[in-house]
Amino acid sequence: MNSERLEQLAGLERALGYKFKDPSFLDCALTHRSFANENPDLMVQDNERLEFLGDAVLTLCVSDMLMKKFPECTEGDLSKIRSTIVNERPLAGLARELRIGDYLLLGKGEDISGGRSKSSLLANALEAIIAAVYCDAGFAGAFDFIATRFNPLLETGVADVLYRDYKTSLQEATQNLFRVIPRYSVIREFGPDHDKVFQVRVSIGDVVCTVGLGRNKKEAEQRAARKALEAIERLSPPDNGEDVQE
């Protein structure tokens, strides 16, 4: 690598919050196959092997984080949460935040066709960068890097998986039983801006009214909906079928 490339990579290191002892790992993580194929005289290695390793490192680290952070979750819930995090869409989103596309080494055709903004290339490059950190700093360094970058995605994944069905289920139940739809309203917000808590009320006519708390409105609504479903179940007598002759 020449000094210009090293200076360019230093900008990405600042965005990543990690300084490589060996910058060649980062350079390799950003080298697309199209660039390596078009420049055989440079004898550079593309990032596909690092991408393979990075996927495994990310999956292991996220699994460990989920196990420790959410001990009450079942294996099925943990798998669902992990799948919302370790997939192309959130990885590409994070790569865009870090402007990884600006640092990719692409072949001319791939560059002209918009390769720097392609979700698949960006997600793959981020996984390769994770592997580069792993190669440069070992598992502990990679884990720290992932924990810093992926904690917000863990929270979002939990909200999406654990709460996403309650509002839908509540609306279906209230329409079938009472011919009304739930009404949600924010009662209050409290706490500092960086750690705000929302209190949301859901009302089903004059039959059920429950309240939920959450770190955002969506989470609070889903928790209120879950409580409302439980309240409706208590209102409904168990279905024992036909009378049984003893």
Q: Is residue 171 part of a domain?
A: no
Percent of the chain with pLDDT over 90: 58
**What is the pLDDT at residue 240?**
47
Choosing from 51, 110, 127, 219, the catalytic residue is 127
Question: What is the CATH number for 148?
Answer: 1.10.1520.10
Question: What is the CATH number for 187?
Answer: 3.30.160.20
Would the pLDDT of 239 be above 60? Answer: no
In a shared domain, residues 97 and 195: no
**What is the pLDDT at residue 222?**
84
**What is the pLDDT at residue 167?**
87
Q: Is residue 64 part of a domain?
A: yes
Residue of 132 and 233 predicted with greater confidence: 132
In a shared domain, residues 191 and 96: no
Residue of 233 and 241 predicted with greater confidence: 233
* Sign of the CA dihedral running 112, 114, 117, 122: negative
In a shared domain, residues 43 and 143: yes
Q: Which two tokens stand for residue 224?
A: 């209120």
pTM of the model: 0.67
Segment (H or E) for 130: helix 119-178
Contact (Cβ atoms closer than 8 angstroms) between residue 110 and residue 141:
no
**Range(s) of the domain holding residue 217:** 182-235
Choosing from 46, 55, 110, 219, the catalytic residue is 55
Question: How does pLDDT run across 14-31, given as a tens digit for each residue?
Answer: 999 999 999 999 999 999
Name the average pLDDT for the chain. Answer: 88
Mean pLDDT over 164-175 rounds to 84
In a shared domain, residues 92 and 151: yes
In a shared domain, residues 149 and 193: no
Choose the most confident range, by mean pLDDT, from 110-114, 150-154, 216-220, 232-236.
Answer: 110-114
In a shared domain, residues 51 and 89: yes
In a shared domain, residues 50 and 82: yes
In a shared domain, residues 105 and 216: no
**What is the pLDDT at residue 1?**
78
Contact (Cβ atoms closer than 8 angstroms) between residue 95 and residue 101:
yes
Domain total in the chain: 2
Res. 193 pLDDT band, cuts 50 70 90: confident
Would the pLDDT of 244 be above 70? Answer: no
In a shared domain, residues 150 and 193: no
**What is the pLDDT at residue 127?**
97
**What is the pLDDT at residue 160?**
61
Residue of 195 and 161 predicted with greater confidence: 195
Res. 219 pLDDT band, cuts 50 70 90: confident
Question: How does pLDDT run across 42-82, given as a tens digit for each residue?
Answer: 899 999 999 999 999 999 999 999 898 877 677 887 888 88
Would the pLDDT of 210 be above 60? Answer: yes
206 in active site: no
189 in active site: no
Q: What is the 3-state secondary structure (H, E, C) of 19-48?
A: CCCCHHHHHHHCECHHHHHHCHHHCCCCCH
Q: Is residue 222 part of a domain?
A: yes
